[in-house]
Structure 1
Amino acid sequence: MLAIRHETIYRYTAPLTYTIQQLRLTPRHDAHQHIKAWDITTGGRCHAFIDAYGNASHTLTVNGRHNEVRIVAQGLVDVAPLYCGRLPARESLSPLVFTVPTGLTEPTDAVRQFASQHLGTGARSGALMALADAIRGSVMYQSGATGVTTTATDALRLGYGVCQDHAHLFLACCHSQDIPARYVSGYIHAGDTDHAESHAWVDVWVDDVDFSGWVSIDVTHAQFTGAMHCRLAIGRDYDSAAPVRGVRHGGGTETLTVRVDVASA
């Protein structure tokens, strides 16, 4: 069982008159993951809906003058271990939905060359894990080295990045060989590592001898995901699975503070 608390605070140097944000801050109802308790607290009004990828989502609107937007999501989630990262079958979307590149995951010539060097036999778990290991070795983890607009090719060229860059490069390599792969946002019980507890990884469609389906891989750690990974949302890239995205009217300069705490319960 994971106890999770995620606080996001936007502060502004001048008053806003309107804020609208899309929140993907509720863990997914997947076969191996069950919410025991969950709550989202914020000012304004929240409208719940399910997005195109099956993610539990909310639209937050704040009207009137305000200098701050504070969002707190917290609760308890029971996550079962996965055998070799294999996700139990419970899908409504075709895997082919996740073969379409985006601006962040476009397989350029540099990415195609990298994939041809490291992906090997294609959609087999061993080959895909070897790709994850190659990405971890080629794009060193460095907090703050990149931003949310950094593409897979940018991260490969820079040689530095964070979990979302690792995920985007993995997706781009898979797309270069028409292998379905998708972005996952969520949380990790990081233990003694220096990686943030707000995390991102990938699901990839494998065709192993004894299994055909989605396998979840933490590219940053080059390992299969398991009971320490809580899934928030899936999408084609960061933009379609981001925990918080929105626009505002007014506000001047924005300062963002995020704190995520994940512990065993």
Structure 2
Amino acid sequence: MQLSIRHETLYRYSVAQAYSIEQLHLTPRAEPQQRVLSWRITTPGHCSGYSDAYGNVSHMLTLNDPHDAVRILVEGVVATTLLHGGRLLTQENLSPLIFTVSTRLTQPTPALLALADATLPPRGEKVRTADLLRLTAHIFGAVAYVTGATDVFSTAGEALTLGAGVCQDHAHVFLACCHAHDIPARYVSGYIDPESTGHAASHAWVDAWVEDADFTGWISIDVSHNRLMTDAYCRLAIGRDYESAAPVRGMRRGGGDETMTVEATIVPV
């Protein structure tokens, strides 16, 4: 499949800002199941590229002159391939064990520990795809997708207690449960073809480490849709949680109010 992607993020400020800095994870990863045919990032200020600790293509955007708006636009075409059983065939230098560490957003609570114990094999046993899909189904049923129910600071425990959240909350709950059982699992940010749902936007899902009878490695799961990753997905970045893989994340100096609007269009071509 080929996905045509256009994603615009616009920040507006009530007073001029003296300085802004943004970390961008807005370039698709180089992986066997996806190939970038064309890609362009358009920003104001100074934008320099680098590879971060997780191998993500990243950019640092800085604006040193007074500004009352920041417009970040990415657009391009990515060719994707359907995975067998959601299995990633990437060759990585990172040990999967670095993705067993809890973060502020994925810290286990008693409720998360109970969910992990009820759905996953005992610690130390092999984890198979079927086990992780069972966990996914439980989260899908326990945390309803409700836009605006949480924000980027909400934790996995808060989302589970509330029983509502968005894709990043589903991912964080999944990660918290896996880490509680020492299962390597990581956050994925990217895009998804909305098909007929009309919900085109940045998306978040997870990778987790399995030991199936015929495969050992990473599989990719979309908790919000209760399914394995397909060729309808474009992967931008991986990390331990939202904070390390967010498409756009930064800070500003100048006071006043900030508003953000995001427009994303993902269309098969």
TM over 0.5, shorter chain: yes
Q: Choose which of 146, 151, 155 in structure 2 pairs with 1:147.
A: 151
Select between 209-218 and 101-110 the one with higher mean Cα deviation. 101-110
Residue 90 and residue 218 in structure 1: after superposition, are their counterparts in 2 closer, same or farther (change >3 A)? Answer: same
TM-score, normalised by the number of residues in structure 2: 0.96
Q: Could you tell me how far 1:197 is from its partner in structure 2?
A: 2.7
Give the aligned partner of residue 44 of structure 1.
45
Residue 116 and residue 195 in structure 1: after superposition, are their counterparts in 2 closer, same or farther (change >3 A)? Answer: farther
Q: Could you tell me how far 1:103 is from its partner in structure 2?
A: 0.5
Q: Count matched residues.
A: 265
Instruction: Show CA shifts across 1:142-183 (max 9, x none).
Output: 111100011110010000000000000000000010000000
Structure 1: state its 5+ residue gaps.
none
Q: Is the 8 A contact 2:21 2:250 kept in 1?
A: yes
Does 1:261 pair with 2:265? yes
Q: Write the distance in 2 (CA, Å) between the matches of 1:109 and 1:263.
A: 42
Q: Write the distance in 2 (CA, Å) between the matches of 1:123 and 1:132.
A: 14
Partner of 2:66, secondary structure, is strand
Give the aligned partner of residue 9 of structure 1.
10
Q: Write the distance in 2 (CA, Å) between the matches of 1:194 and 1:50.
A: 33
Structure 2: state its 5+ residue gaps.
none
Instruction: Show CA shifts across 1:7-51 (max 9, x none).
Output: 000000001111111100000001111100000001101010000
Partner of 1:27, secondary structure, is coil
Does 1:111 pair with 2:106? no
Partner of 2:49, secondary structure, is strand
Q: Is the 8 A contact 1:183 1:241 kept in 2?
A: yes
Q: Write the distance in 1 (CA, Å) between the matches of 2:102 and 2:32.
A: 27
Q: Is the 8 A contact 2:200 2:266 kept in 1?
A: no
Q: Could you tell me how far 1:194 is from its partner in structure 2?
A: 5.2
Q: Is the 8 A contact 1:31 1:90 kept in 2?
A: no
Q: Choose which of 137, 141, 157 in structure 2 pairs with 1:133.
A: 137
Partner of 2:64, secondary structure, is strand
Q: What's the C-alpha RMSD, in Å, of the aligned pairs?
A: 1.1
Q: Choose which of 177, 184, 191 in structure 1 pairs with 2:181.
A: 177
Q: Is the 8 A contact 1:67 1:251 kept in 2?
A: no
Give the aligned partner of residue 85 of structure 1.
86
